[in-house]
Every structure is written in structure tokens, then in C-alpha cells.
Amino acid sequence: QITLKESGPPLVKPTQTLTLTCSFSGFSLTTAGVGVGWIRQPPGKALEWLAHIYWDDDKRYSPSLKSRLTISKDTSGNQVVLTMINMDPVDTATYYCAHLLCYDSSASYHEYFQHWGQGTLVTVSS
């Protein structure tokens, strides 16, 4: 059974750096064909993809946030960490991590967020 859980500070001040940790079980980031991503959702608004990291340490970032994000993995501890610098009140959101399943089917490559964590609300305020 795959489970993911996000952890991090519930409140950060503007200009500070946010560090979020995704702790997961039921899969390993040393196994080919998996990844972990981060998606956020401001209150009452839509989901927004932020970044994801693959088993081989390849990474992808949202173009609009790339300069502020860093994603990394700790394979021994089954954790993925996302840092976001220069936090602003507009970054107030629930941050989700999700298990990314990557596979080949019908001679094509596919990936999708198969399992999601419960999310953690981060408020940016002075």
C-alpha cells in the first residue's frame, strides 16, 4: 500500500524559505519507473504543479517557479524535499506530494500521479 505524507511549517514569514518534506512508504525511489511530485492549491483555487523528481534523479520544475524551487530525494530515508525561496503571501496554499507512476505501454511513454498525500497547509504572513 502506497502512502505519502507531507510535513513542514504551517506558517512562514514573507521572504523566508519554505522547506517541505514528503515521507512515503510502499515504494522506493531507487526503483525504476517511479517519481514524486509536488502540487499546490491556494484556498478555493485550482491545483498547480510545482515540480517532480524521478528515480534516476532527473528533475522537472514549473517554468514560472523554477528560479525559486529545489527538489531533492533521500533514497535511504524514503523522503523527498522541496524548498521554495522568497515566500510571498500569494504562496499560501495546501501543498501536496504525489507518487508518480512512469511506464511504457503500446510503445509509448506514460506517467501520472497515482497516489496523493493528505496535503499540508502553509500560510505566508508576517
Question: Which residues here bind other proteins, judged by CB under 8 A?
Answer: 37, 39, 46-49, 52, 60, 62-63, 96, 105, 110-114, 116-119
Q: Could you tell me the smallest distance in angstroms from the CB atom of residue 60 to other proteins?
A: 5
- CB closer to other proteins out of 17 and 103: 103
* Amino acid, res. 124: V
Q: Which residues contact 113 (CB under 8 A, 6 or more apart)?
A: 37, 39, 98, 99, 100, 101
Q: Could you tell me the smallest distance in angstroms from the CB atom of residue 115 to other proteins?
A: 8
Cα 72 to Cα 37: distance, rounded to the nearest angstrom: 11
- CB closer to other proteins out of 13 and 110: 110
Match 517511479 to its residue by C-alpha cell. Answer: 34
Q: Which residues contact 49 (CB under 8 A, 6 or more apart)?
A: 37, 38, 39, 62
- CB closer to other proteins out of 31 and 108: 108
Q: Could you tell me the smallest distance in angstroms from the CB atom of residue 63 to other proteins?
A: 7
- CB closer to other proteins out of 13 and 103: 103
Q: Could you tell me the smallest distance in angstroms from the CB atom of residue 5 to other proteins?
A: 11
- Is residue 8 a contact partner of residue 121, using CB atoms and an 8 Å limit? no
